[in-house]
Amino acid sequence: MTDAYTPPRPWIRSYAPGVPDDLLEMTGSLMDLVAESAAEHPNAPALEFFGRTTTYADLAAAIERAAAGLRAQGVRKGDPVALVLPNCSQHIIAFYAVLRLGAIVVEHNPLYTARELRKQFEDHGAKHAIVWSKVAKTIQDFPADLAVSSLVSVDVTQGMPAYMRAALRLPIPSLRAQRSQLTERVRGAVSWESIVAYAPVGAEVPQPDTDDIAVIQYTSGTTGDPKGATLTHRNLLANAAQARAWTPTVDRGEGTVVYAVLPMFHAYGLTLCLTYAMSQAARLVLFPKFDPDMVLKVTKKHPATVLPAVPPIAEKLLRRAKERGISLEGTGIGVSGAMALDDALVVPWEEETKGMLVEGYGLSECSPVLIVNPVSEDRKAGSIGLPLPGTEARVVDPENPTADVAPGEAGELVVRGPQIFGGYYGRPEETEKVFVDGWFRTGDIVAMDEDGFFSVVDRIKELIITGGFNVAPTEVEIALRQHPAIADAAVVGLPSSERGEDVVAAVVLDGDPDFDEAEVREFVKRVLTPYKAPRRFVIVDELPTSMIGKVLRRQVRDQLLADG
């Protein structure tokens, strides 16, 4: 199939009322999202962090000041700038301030280990970083060839209300310990407060262009090597516009509330919170981590109009609300992604909220949302839904991705649309592998029914998705093999009712019959983020391999499933 080929789109007839078939051409940049909301709703709350609100007018002004401060630090157009921050008001300001200069945001998980962060910094080579004070020392300890030229340290407590900051200073040991963790001063770093103290950057610094790279979003490949998907302003503008088009009943402006319970360094949280919410002039309520009690406290005052989540978050929130006798009624649209959504959760959720919970599907390379169930009674349980407006999708033969399979049969999902990335940062060969005739290969096996609804059947990729986060088996296996008790390991994902998949390791011991599972798990956690550590170990005599000695993870997984 050539780039000019236009496949049929049977899913359009299944769209909810008010959803357009296509999108208008994207123009401008992501800066327009905040600018337009600030112009139309200057006094509407843009951000809420532990009860402290920032209006759209104040947010726009803070972005301009921060941009000036970053420019004084040497940030210029096209420079990658690393953000290593939890969900906080400073994160939003820093994100848009970097973009205001035409520079590139590189998002990182602030809970990553030094080893994991170093691998990503080795890949993108950023010389500027804006980081949570708690992890600044990690960046400073990088070897000389990775040293940043400017390091901005963020004290997240400065975004909290004054009374809460004062409470942290009370002579109570637990509070003092908490404050020291949150507000640790970092020598050799510039404080965020000094960055936002500058005069506005001014019109002499032009806005970024539509096709400039806006974000490098890291995605774990099957090899475990970090690959940075380059997302342009056009890509991210399009995905935000697609999300707005999909939710035509959501009003723009004051009264619309979006909860940021997902981390904004993740592609899913980035689009639904950092771009979609801003484009709706919504109140974005920021949660540095998911805490059901914290979410319920906000729900009493401002129920979520849109709640992006993963199934474990929705399940825990529902359970806690029932335990405490707090109503979730008024929560409008729950959007579930990153893992399969069980209908056993949808029914009680919708009974409690009187709203809807719909499943979607996406990848970091696609900004990330591709397919979502309609926000209507016509959605189909068990399916991932319909392609978003402007998105083309085909089901092809995985062995010959230029050939479509017969209607209703399973095959690899390939897609094309304005939200699809242009390639991996600095990796032209890796980029070439995932495109065929202009179509992006998702690596997922799907089937499409007669109404255009897609269902995931299997994954070609061996990526494990646990609690909505990606785990590359290879990097966990490498960590396990470093342990003296383990001769070899194969890591797979097995179904979990709580997390979608559990990380499970089949291990061959290195002669010693005594195996301390807890000790090995802690060993892995010293190397990798805790959610990547295996939840279960299975000791085996040998691992199945191919003729060239490659471990056959699929066979390992099938055997573990058969053994129960």
> Binning pLDDT at 50, 70 and 90, where does residue 221 land?
very low
Hey, is 561 helix, strand or coil? helix
Q: pLDDT tens digits, residue range 408-455?
A: 998 999 999 999 999 999 999 999 999 999 999 999 989 999 999 999
For 86, the token pair is 């939890």
Q: Taking residues 392-403, report their average pLDDT.
A: 94
Render 423-459 in DSSP notation, one character per residue: EETT-HHHHHHTEETTEEEEEEEEEE-TTS-EEEEEE
Taking the domain 464-563, which CATH number applies?
3.30.300.30
Of 225, 497, 239, nearest in space to 363 by CA: 239
**CATH superfamily name and code, 394-459:** Luciferase; Domain 3 (2.30.38.10)
Q: Quick check: 177 pLDDT over 80? A: no
Q: What is the mean pLDDT of the chain?
A: 91
For 194, the token pair is 């000094």
Pick the CATH number of 56-207 from 3.40.50.980, 3.30.565.10, 3.30.428.10, 3.40.50.300: 3.40.50.980
Boundaries of every domain in the chain: 56-207, 394-459, 464-563
Contacts with 527 (C-beta within 8 Å, 6 or more apart), sequence order: 113, 115, 479, 482
Q: pLDDT tens digits, residue range 183-206?
A: 556 778 999 999 999 999 988 899
Other beta carbons within 10 angstroms of residue 561's beta carbon come to 11
Q: pLDDT tens digits, residue range 120-169?
A: 999 999 999 999 999 999 999 999 999 999 999 999 999 988 888 776 65
Hey, is 536 helix, strand or coil? strand
Pairing between β-strand 190-191 and β-strand 150-154 as defined by DSSP bridges = parallel
Residues in a beta bridge with 215: 105, 231
Q: Considering only 27-36, 109-118, 168-177, which range has the smallest mean pLDDT?
A: 168-177
Q: Taking residues 487-509, report their average pLDDT.
A: 91
What pTM was computed for the model? 0.85
Distance between CA atoms of residues 338 and 469, nearest Å: 7
Q: Which residue has the higher pLDDT, 193 or 222?
A: 193
How high is the pLDDT of residue 478?
A: 83
Q: Do the Cβ atoms of 129 and 148 come closer than 8 Å?
A: yes
Cα distances (angstroms) measured from residue 357 to each of 26, 142, 225, 335, 374: 29, 43, 34, 6, 10
Distance between CA atoms of residues 4 and 404, nearest Å: 15
Of 287, 306, 305, 307, nearest in space to 297 by CA: 287
Contacts with 136 (C-beta within 8 Å, 6 or more apart), sequence order: 151, 153, 184, 186, 189
Distance between CA atoms of residues 528 and 117, nearest Å: 10
Q: Taking residues 497-511, report their average pLDDT.
A: 90
Q: Quick check: 547 pLDDT over 70? A: no
Q: Considering only 241-245, 347-351, 368-372, 473-477, which range has the smallest mean pLDDT?
A: 473-477
> Binning pLDDT at 50, 70 and 90, where does residue 14 land?
very high
Distance between CA atoms of residues 131 and 149, nearest Å: 13
Q: Taking residues 251-265, report their average pLDDT.
A: 95
